[in-house]
Structure 1
Amino acid sequence: MKRVQLAAGSVSALTAAVLALSATPASASGTYSGLAYVYGAGAFADDWGNEGIVDQSHNTSSNATCLWQKILYADGLLEAGDIDGVFGKDTAAATSQWQSTWTSDTPDGSAGKLTWTAAGQFLFNSSGTRTGNTVSYYSGLRRNISLSRDSDGYYHFTDGNDSGRIAGYDYRTCS
């Protein structure tokens, strides 16, 4: 009887351990906000201070990654053809370059909370200011990219083929 109880306890412990290991910090939704989309509410100036991680291990293939690639494109670190929503080695290298310029952290090639927060400082409305509730674009070093935030707070952008997309962590439709 003790062996059966011991075996049952071992199986329960093993199951719990496997479940704990399978849950990643950025699984399916944004790590910090807990939302499945790049999100904002109220004044847009601090919208990106709680976004999830996009890198080679988290949300690697997603529309949120596609939006991040658009930011890198706006700053001249990726080409239009590189915007595909897949966080590969070129996106990681461009992210490290971007971080070297715009963040105080050591570049790690991962767009997490500090990197998204830094990028959020370049969001502007149609008047070119950072006030109000309507965001219109990201101001990059080489070009601006159009953005909008819908009534639910979800960010919209166009992908590499100029198709409209919503920046979600759970899926990839951009190309």
Structure 2
Amino acid sequence: MSWHTKRIKLGACMVGALTAAVLVVSTTPAAAAGTYSGLAYVYGTGEFDGDWGNEGILQRTTHASSNATCLWQMILWADGELDSKSKVDGVFGDGTYNATRAWQQRENVNYGAGLTVDGSVGKGTFAWAQTWLQVVSGGEGAGQTLYLSYNGLYDHFDARRLPDGNYEFVDGDGSWRKAGYDYRTCS
């Protein structure tokens, strides 16, 4: 085999390897074990069950200052892990980390949730939290708003899935907020 033929074959292999690497990198956010759905908002479509099973990670280093974190803090508040709505600020700090670990542990002990007690909110933790999110009214079809209530151990709050699939919730101040990953308007 000539050097020229070897170079062509080597070049073809390199192109194939680079193409595979680009595909892996471009799919990593959605495919990597619970890292991020790739969407800007907590999102759902079609049947309500399973909406939160592909959500992004919330933790001290990922989406740590966001309205999605604020939504998670409302869940912690409704379930008694945050003792005041004033702690619902959209910042995933040590208090939210510790409250998340306590929530995960309690859900495992009381309900056999099978969650990893790591203080991180990933696909499994988000999906399990949806267990306590109940449909109040509205429709699941395209272009319809679905009205929901998160029914925690100690309190509840309202949420809704908008016609575009994005979730909104009532924050600690009583304002409706979109549950976005890349910005924070709740305080």
After TM superposition, the score normalised by the length of structure 2 is: 0.73
Structure 2 distance, partners of 1:150, 1:106, is 30
> For structure 1, which segment, 53-62 or 152-161, has the greater mean C-alpha deviation from structure 2 after superposition?
152-161
Structure 2 distance, partners of 1:32, 1:57, is 13
Secondary structure at the aligned position of 2:80 is classed as: coil
Q: Does residue 144 of structure 1 match 2:156?
A: yes
Is contact 2:29–2:38 with CA below 8 Å preserved after alignment? Answer: no
Structure 2 distance, partners of 1:106, 1:116, is 12
1:21-60 → structure 2 map (5 Å cutoff): 31-60=35-64
Q: Does residue 93 of structure 1 match 2:105?
A: no
Q: Which residue matches 1:16?
A: none
Note the C-alpha offset of 1:161: 1.0
Structure 1 distance, partners of 2:156, 2:171, is 14
Q: Which residue matches 1:167?
A: 179
Secondary structure at the aligned position of 2:165 is classed as: coil
Unaligned runs of 5+ in 2: 1-27, 108-112, 141-145
Q: 1:25 to 1:34 in 2, by over 3 A?
A: closer
Q: Does residue 62 of structure 1 match 2:80?
A: no
Note the C-alpha offset of 1:44: 1.2
Unaligned runs of 5+ in 1: 1-23
Secondary structure at the aligned position of 1:125 is classed as: strand
Secondary structure at the aligned position of 1:147 is classed as: strand
* Runs of 4+ deviating beyond 6 Å: none
Secondary structure at the aligned position of 1:53 is classed as: coil
Which has the higher Rg, Structure 1 or Structure 2?
2
2:132 to 104, 119, 122: 122
Q: Which residue matches 1:113?
A: 123
Q: Which residue matches 2:75?
A: 71
Note the C-alpha offset of 1:52: 0.2
Q: Which amino acid aligns with 1:141?
A: L
Is contact 1:74–1:142 with CA below 8 Å preserved after alignment? Answer: yes
Structure 2 distance, partners of 1:25, 1:107, is 22
Superposed CA deviations along residues 5-64 of structure 1, whole A, max 9, x for unmatched, are: xxxxxxxxxxxxxxxxxxx959xxx94421010000112121100000011010000000
What is the aligned length?
146
Is contact 1:123–1:135 with CA below 8 Å preserved after alignment? Answer: no
Superposed CA deviations along residues 96-129 of structure 1, whole A, max 9, x for unmatched, are: 01111223133100001110010011111116xx
Q: 1:132 to 1:123 in 2, by over 3 A?
A: farther
Superposed CA deviations along residues 130-161 of structure 1, whole A, max 9, x for unmatched, are: x9622411110011110001111111112211
